A and B are shown apart, each in its own frame.
Chain A
Amino acid sequence: MELQAVLMAAGGGSRMTDLTYNTPKPMLPVGNKPLMWYPLNLLERVGFEEVIVITTREVHKMMSTDPKTKLDIKMKLDVVCIQEDGDMGTADALRHIHQKVKTDILVVSCDLITDVALHEVVDLFRAHNATVAMLMSKAHEFTETVNVPQRDFVGVDQSGKRLLFMANEADLEDGLIVRRSIIRKHPRMHIKTGLVDAHLYCLKKAVVDFLAENKSISSIRGELVPFLVRKQFSKMTSGQKRMDDTETVDQKNDGLTNDDLFFPSRDEALLQLAQERSCWNDHRGDMSEAYHGGKLRCYVHIMDQGLCYRVNTLSAYIEANRMAPKFIEEPAVHPSAVISERFQMGSDSMIGAGCHVADKTSIKRSTIGISTTVKEKVKVTNSIIMHGVTIEEGCNIQGSVICSNAVIGRGADLKYCLVGNGQRIEPEGDTYSNTKKSILLEVSVTFGLV
């Protein structure tokens, strides 16, 4: 077996609490399918047959019982439940399933919606015998211009594939420091800031073993990957030599060498023989052999075309809903929905199963969830209506997100609002509108948590 897939579905959705306080993030409907479905669909399309899903008990229950969040996946899902309130980072979760991991793994986050050709990432992992291969994408316009201290600096080499440097601005107090060893080996480095990390990593099994021993690392994205990227260029200790003084200074907390991470593959000597005779080098201009003799290599595939969304903020959620019809092959209108004749629907809209849509409604660029009822003369534009919502007659909903089981009374007029789970909007309600385009949390005093 070559790769095992691991889906991280235990995240809390800390950047969109308005949506996730009632529904866990993996189960948020995007295009009438739970968010988890997208990465699972990607894995299934590519040919995986089994996935290890790390999630909370609540999500697991919803997966198996709730018909609205039925997953429709033919793969075998091996669900591992962890405590949801524990501070378990992604690396801690990998440590938790260490026993199940038998080969190299492909870690995917549940909030990734993408149509990347996955073989591009995995081919980098295979061909160069890389320790980690990840996926990144050029950011799209909708992502909020990121708050300044959160920028990510990613340094790649000339070919754009080898990852040389990765740091978050928050960790760089004195400015961006690039080690001389990196510059000596790769004199041309491109540093990019506008990239979205898709949180899709191919990791060697040795890395998981390493995580099991080093309990100090708790997040893959925040700690493990930058650590591995840095380790590429730290001084190599060969089998005979032991750590010298410079080493001990470098590795104050780590206490380990490159040898630990470089797990010798079978027939290492033979591989070395083949490498010596091959007339290939990944760089030119200096006297060192391919990969500068380094055994630890990190690669990145940067997508410049195609869709790649991380649904971890509200605006990403809305954008993903808009793009969702492209991923789903099902017809826009579910066959079991009851739709009247005099009804306008735009081409980008989606209507879920079991809906009732009455006459003279107009639905444009919106998603209507499962089992919602839309009465007459309702105009829904640019909105996301989740499951079980009732919209009475004459409403006008624009640019809004209506969470599950809400009831919108007659004649309500909502612009750019977010209606929480199970809320009620009074009939003939005042026009609630947000002047700012972004959707705010609190709308008005009549809403309270039920």
Chain B
Amino acid sequence: MQIEGKELTKEEKQRLRKEKKQQKKGKEKKDASLPQVSVAETAAPASQLKAERRARQEAERTSKQSKKGDTGQPATTSKPKIPPNELQPGTQNTWSDHPHHMLYLIKQWLSPEIFFFQIPRRLDYGYKVSLFSHLLQYSRKAPLTQQLSIPSAVIHPAIVRLGLQYSQGIVAGSNARSIALLHAFKQVISDYTTPSNEELSRDLVNKLKPYISFLNQCRPLSASMGNAIKYIKKEISNIPSQFKEDDAKKKLLNCIECFIEEKIVLAAKAIAKSSIEKINDGDVILVYGCSSLVNHILCEAFEKGRKFRVIVVDSRPRLEGREALRRLVQKGISCTYVLISAVSYILPEVSKVFLGAHALLANGYVMSRVGTSQIALVAKAFNVPVLVCCETYKFCERVQTDSFVSNELDDPDDLIVTRKGETQLKDWQQVPRLGLLNLVYDVTPPDFVDLVITDLGMIPCTSVPVVLRVKNVDLL
């Protein structure tokens, strides 16, 4: 009897606990689908209780999934540095089938608060080489603007223009992309008006999320852009709520200008100052592709009177070295131009290699234009010092040891070339086992890099995590 009593009370206690939990959940979710356990029920055996609990968990799971389906992609793609394999290329966005008509109808009968604008998904193009099938590959001939309405009302026109410039390659290069991004954000912030009952610090961040996902669709965000976005979001959320809208906007615009001034312009000046010490008279410097920072360094060194000559190494399909060549020759620096296949031929003449970086990873690897690791490797074989120039805002916490796991695939049609009227690869899609691969980035291990020149000074490659740690402490 006593034992029974104890059992009863135990079950009663369990039931009471369950009811309390349900009441709490009921207040949060207002979900009527949860089964209500009435107080008057007689003691149920443990198995029934377990079954009830399982049923409740199932109901919660299905309700959570249906909610996820509503909010969809913008939530997940808002994170600035998502590696492409987190995006699900398989999920079809039905909005992309009938974009304008649907948007038009829905805009009419849904109020703006309920209306979640889903960025139309850009479709994959062509056959992807199996090792890189987790990455996204787009065609330049199918821009994302095809699926948007023309007077873009939902996405700010400055952002649409920026996305177009990214996808067509008009704004290319890590620094240029970040500056253009901040410029567009300045316009967005100036045109922004806080809706009533909303706070600027929270609403503006939400406004920026679809823009960022749009830009990500046009071209995957770079590490520098990701850091810039993080900085802006932090600044926006730190705006005290008593600020008036105009003051808040002015403060934000000021912050952006400071960021550009400090992290990009002044950093370039500091790096140039440090690098000039490393450039001696009579040097033969090898550069690869077109890095705005390296070009700046060389031009500054030339102006300061150092005597050196430059060898510009270039690679297809981008052939960015031509632009670097133009800028250096315009300054008056004597240059040689070779393609990357001739690098081992030309290296005996070279005394130093200056490389630019797209990002510096936390394990000391340098992520840069595809071909950089080759140059670093050959330079190491010839015992030529390799110096990487990189601003600290490009340091990122990611860790990567190979170029497969996370990369960017450019338009494969760029590899097609027409010589003497003949285009050999015109129908490459019809050939069954042929895949065209146009990689954009690769990673160079720290063993090949002798020095990293940053605005904090000249550090070895392995000190990158220290810099990151120090930076994070600053931010906090």
Contacts and interface: CB of A to CB of B under 8 A. Distances in A.
Interface stretch (B128-136, B160-168, B228-236, B467-475): B160-168
Q: Which 10 A-B pairs have the closest CB atoms?
A: A47-B149, A279-B290, A278-B176, A2-B157, A277-B292, A277-B176, A274-B180, A127-B164, A274-B179, A3-B151
A192 interface: no
A1 B153 contact: yes
Interface string B85-115: 0000000000000001101100000000000
Contact of B150 (A119, A275, A281, A284): A119
Given A128-B170, A267-B186, A47 B148 contact: yes
Nearest to A1: B151
Interface in A242-299: 266-267, 270-271, 273-281, 284, 287
Contacts of A119: 143, 145-146, 148, 150
Interface in A26-69: 45-49
Given A45-B100, A126-B164, A270-B182, A279 B260 contact: no
Interface in B419-443: none
A280 B100 CA distance: 33
18 contacts: A3-B151, A47-B148, A119-B143, A119-B150, A122-B150, A128-B170, A267-B186, A267-B187, A270-B179, A270-B186, A273-B179, A274-B176, A274-B183, A278-B173, A278-B177, A279-B176, A279-B289, A281-B323
Contacts of B104: 47, 74
B171 interface: yes
Interface of B: 100-101, 103-104, 143, 145-146, 148-153, 157, 160-161, 164-165, 168-173, 175-177, 179-180, 182-183, 186-187, 190, 260, 265, 289-290, 292, 320, 322-324, 326, 329-330
Contacts of B172: 278-280
B161 A127 contact: yes
A262 to B, nearest CB: 17
Given A106-B150, A266-B186, 5 more contacts: A46-B150, A47-B100, A126-B160, A127-B161, A279-B176
B160 to A, nearest CB: 6
A4 interface: yes
Nearest to A75: B104
Contact of B173 (A128, A266, A277, A281): A277
Interface SS of chain B: helix, strand, loop or mixed?
A: helix
Contacts of B265: 273
A280 B152 CA distance: 26
Contacts of B320: 279
A280 B169 contact: yes
A381 B313 CA distance: 68
A287 B179 contact: no
A191 interface: no
B160 A2 contact: yes
Contacts of B146: 117, 119
Contacts of B179: 270, 273-274, 277
A379 B329 CA distance: 76
Most buried by B among A5, A47, A49, A129: A47
A14 to B, nearest CB: 31
Nearest to B155: A2
Interface string A1-13: 1111100000000
A45 B104 CA distance: 9
A240 B331 CA distance: 23
A287 B326 contact: yes
Given A4-B151, A119-B143, A274-B183, A279 B323 contact: yes
Contacts of B150: 2-3, 46-48, 106, 118-119, 122
A284 B318 CA distance: 13
Contact of B151 (A48, A280, A287): A48
A46 B103 CA distance: 11
Contacts of A49: 151, 153
A280 B330 contact: no
A271 B175 CA distance: 12
A144 interface: no
Contact of A47 (B103, B183, B323): B103
A78 interface: no
A442 interface: no
Nearest to B100: A47
A123 interface: yes
A330 to B, nearest CB: 15
A267 to B, nearest CB: 5
A50 B372 CA distance: 51
A126 B161 contact: yes
A273 B160 CA distance: 20
A173 to B, nearest CB: 38
Nearest to B152: A2
Contact of A270 (B175, B183, B326): B183
Contacts of B260: 270, 273
B161 A274 contact: no
A91 B100 CA distance: 31
A123 B160 CA distance: 9
Most buried by B among A2, A279, A281: A279
Contacts of A48: 149-151
A118 B170 CA distance: 21
Contacts of A279: 172-173, 176, 289-290, 292, 320, 323-324
A46 B100 contact: yes
A291 to B, nearest CB: 10
Nearest to A3: B151
B329 A287 contact: yes
Contacts of A277: 173, 175-176, 179, 292
